[in-house]
Structure 1
Amino acid sequence: MSLPAELAEIAEDFNAMPENERLELLLEFSDNLPELPARYADADLERVEECQSPVFLTVEVAQDGDRTVGVFITAPREAPTTRGFAGVLTEGLHGLSAAEVLAVPDDFPSMLGLTRAVSPLRLRGMSAMLGRIKRRVALEVRA
């Protein structure tokens, strides 16, 4: 199973860098995590309990032919690693079809080559974010 183009490019970027520089790239994704749209300012978003920091997310699945997915995640600036993972997932998944999102391998976080740069707990948090996104997309597609 191959990754969607955007996620494949992100994984390639991480793996092309020396191991000691990958964390810097993750921090760039942290800086680029978009703010939530105003329509979610007072919304009750889903908490990702596996993350040490307060991370909340939601997805939108359009009623178009591809069931285009919108991914929206918020993470505090004081948690740049977690926020970076949120940025990777937002950039890599937002705009894909529901089928593409659902086909992303559950072990995608390990494909970034960060296993020695970040703690297993943080990787578990990213896996949890991906799992929740996929679960919410699956629920929307079935609805």
Structure 2
Amino acid sequence: MSDLPPALAELVDDFADVGPKDRLQLLLELSQELPDLPERYRDAAATMEQVHECQSPLFLAVEVDDDADHRVHLFFSAPPEAPTTRGFAGIMVTGLDGEPAADVLAVPDDFYTALGLAQAVSPLRLRGMAAMLARIKKQVRSATAA
């Protein structure tokens, strides 16, 4: 997918290069790499937006720099016992954190289909990933409109 920031495109390629069983393993590895929250977001329910479409409790916050590129920074809270949800959040952080707002907004809403996870996870879980991206874009638009 040519509309993807380089780190996200690399992740899509990584998923495409392995079979369905290994894709799930790759997703689980990304779940373990999700960064800890900074102190200002420790109370996720009070300080972050919940993504209700996710089957597990997932909260996100988006910060956008005031620089010319409006670089985007992502923060997620998801319980350790929800590795699929954490893996989706890991994809977002790895692929989009630090990217210019325009590049984040240009990511196709269905980019996740290129990950080839449809055989590994349920459509309901994939809908959660789509909702994450939609919330990220909404927060980026809101932050850059001001």
1:19 to partner: Cα distance: 1.7
Query: Superposition pairs for residues 1-143 of structure 1, below 5 Å?
Result: 1-42=2-43, 43-143=46-146
Q: Aligned AA for 1:74?
A: S
Q: Secondary structure at the match of 2:57?
A: coil
1:66 to partner: Cα distance: 0.4
Q: Deviations over 1:16-57 (max 9, x none)?
A: 001221000000000000011112123521000001110000
CA distance in structure 2 between the aligned counterparts of 1:56 and 1:35, rounded to whole angstroms? 13
Q: Give unpaired runs (5+ residues) of structure 1.
A: none
1:2 to partner: Cα distance: 2.3
Q: Deviations over 1:95-124 (max 9, x none)?
A: 000000000000011110111110000000
Calculate the TM-score normalised by the size of structure 2: 0.95
Q: Aligned AA for 2:18?
A: M
The alignment-based identity, stated in percent, is 59
Q: Secondary structure at the match of 2:62?
A: strand
Q: Aligned AA for 1:60?
A: E
Q: Deviations over 1:48-89 (max 9, x none)?
A: 000111000000000001001001111111110111000000
CA distance in structure 1 between the aligned counterparts of 2:49 and 2:63, rounded to whole angstroms? 13
Q: Secondary structure at the match of 2:60?
A: strand
Moved over 3 A (4+): none
**How many residue pairs end up in the alignment?**
143
Q: Aligned AA for 2:20?
A: E
RMSD: 0.9
